[in-house]
Structure 1
């Protein structure tokens, strides 16, 4: 995995690969991955921001304290368009590892004396902190040893002192009595993922939906899952039993199954005030011009628009780009002062058939592939 730093998106990851135990070489997953917007509309309609392309998000890269990167390395980053051109380098990228608790556990059945199988997992963590206005965004990329990738943004800092004039229904009283109402607002975070599974951009997208029907007399309900190929660009809405995966057209695991990664959205408060925030995931055909989910700075041609919803126009998906939208509606509370506790929003990319078995399987269970008597 490599990285570079852009003038609007900030940290961009390049050529993200994963080498599971037992595989002879790394398996490429992503060609590039980056934030594609942090859209912040206030509930009273008074302010609305596109933090990446309108509020100097990248230039707000913060210097990290050594205590923020325990056991890791803080790297110097050259910031394009730095506020202080004489000092464009910022010690602002942390690369470290962190414990994540159980990777798995398999205990004994009654009467058995076998070993308890358990492993405590570790993540490779890469992150920056970018200050925009009164907020500081912790932009995390976590890579687990089982191949799972966690992308999340944590918002902290302080509440805007200029926004204590909200009324009931659009804010929350902060401080003594009910005088200062901090205005509620949303953080709609978008990520742009350019998949390159097994080194190829020619991936395919599939949608899965599960439906449960009542059982007959004396029978339990039944659930059926249907796979639908996504052949053309899509603006998709998540649901309790709906999910998507991006599938390799060239690589298979040792069981002969195509490798894929499932998009697993985290909790999201969908903001319906703008067309581009009304859907949870978009799949568009690759276009170099299309880089940001809203307020896209490049001119992509007459009638192309400047937001991701405008780019879903029926093109066949041959080189799909995934855009993931996770929203958070921030209604302030007394505990937000001060500094504000971090609130997180994000999603996972979960390996699905990347390997024939759990890549962390212990040797004594390596034969448990498929039906086991």
Structure 2
């Protein structure tokens, strides 16, 4: 049981987080009783150098953003821009990006938790050892409603760079030259302890424009939960004793897009159908159709389906609208709650809609406290994306001790943000669209 996983002091503090954090202004305030969806706030002033992250990667790509620390959501990244080589100015991608909830129900039905809004996730920010941030910088974070009011500052935010392997490889027709590049990422991450678990919130900003969001769970299995006598758990230790209780981690992310600096983005859904080969055809045929998503949507991922968020104001040098495609990661979708039954939600921006479940804001009569209740037919003019990625954790012997990190997450990938691969070598820059050898 989670109540055995924190001290009484932490349990008391967790209950008081919402009141104190709201009073301190670190969490979005509640709206009026009859609140209507509100327009986005005016763009914030440029953040100070202490809250600025800017990194030019060796491949020529520059990522820049501001950061702040919220009393419930933890790390929040804002005003995120991407400037690949060859682009005269940064291309804004997101107003903000952060976790939207970590929902943890136990298989035996005894308990469930909303770690961000109900269990002091933000207050559990951990100090990082320099060895955890090789070649990077660890920033000080002032934690709202800190467990220790006398020591609210935590060395808890790492920014560094990592190699990710091949970005591309091409040998060409003449077979006498190999074009290859090793990809580089800006890595931004923090670690938050909730009971026995330590959550690693990781953001990877790739030099090709892709952003990958991961949540890693590590730490320890709770030995208070070695009591799964109902057959739902898994034996940990010698013989059949100490069965660890199985549970789910349903992670939500909240993305507020602002492609080319505008929040007025479009959402499109693409579905492909495959039909048997017709007489005279050598193979089955595939047809892809585009469906504009003009109203709020609770979407389900399936084979041959994908979504993209499209700029309403910007185009690349080929005059194609810039967009970002949502690339889901592996997920075990938890059917036990209405808000976890779908993979992605597109909602119209409303400043009180901040967390996917157990939302503390007052969004008006009948609005509900979870993201599924906010999908009510509004026209999308400023869409907010909520991504749900589930992991069903059935413990194993190898989970002790300590527990290896298990990851869950997804990516957003640029689609037509640049006219060519942003890492294209200069010798191949003329091979855009129809071209002839030597051009």
TM-score by length of 1: 0.98
CA distance in structure 2 between the aligned counterparts of 1:14 and 1:66, rounded to whole angstroms: 25
Partner of 2:185: 123
Displaced runs of 4 or more, over 6 A: none
Alignment check: 8 A CA contact 2:108 2:230 kept: no
Instruction: Write out per-residue CA displacement over residues 7-47 of structure 1, whole angstroms, 9 at most, x where no aligned residue.
Output: 00000000000001100000000000000000000000011
SS of the counterpart of 1:53? helix
Partner of 1:132: 194
* Counterpart among 182, 186, 197 of residue 248 in structure 2: 186
Residue 97 (1) aligns with residue 166 (2): no
Partner of 2:234: 172
CA distance in structure 2 between the aligned counterparts of 1:185 and 1:114, rounded to whole angstroms: 54
Note the 1:25-36 alignment, pairs <5 A. 25-36=89-100
CA distance in structure 2 between the aligned counterparts of 1:251 and 1:217, rounded to whole angstroms: 44
- Cα deviation for residue 268 of structure 1 reads 0.2
Partner of 2:354: 291
Counting matched residue pairs gives: 371
Partner of 2:117: 53
Partner of 1:327: 390
> CA-atom RMSD, angstroms?
0.8
More strand by share: 1
* Counterpart among 352, 355, 371 of residue 415 in structure 2: 352
- Cα deviation for residue 161 of structure 1 reads 1.4
- Cα deviation for residue 217 of structure 1 reads 3.1
CA distance in structure 2 between the aligned counterparts of 1:199 and 1:91, rounded to whole angstroms: 32
TM-score by length of 2: 0.84
Partner of 2:148: 84
Note the 1:1-373 alignment, pairs <5 A. 1-109=65-173, 112-167=174-229, 169-219=231-281, 220-373=283-436
CA distance in structure 1 between the aligned counterparts of 2:97 and 2:279, rounded to whole angstroms: 51
Alignment check: 8 A CA contact 2:133 2:159 kept: yes
SS of the counterpart of 2:223? coil
CA distance in structure 1 between the aligned counterparts of 2:90 and 2:176, rounded to whole angstroms: 34
Partner of 2:23: none
Instruction: Write out per-residue CA displacement over residues 299-337 of structure 1, whole angstroms, 9 at most, x where no aligned residue.
Output: 111111000000000000000000000000000000000
- Gap runs ≥5 in structure 2: 1-64
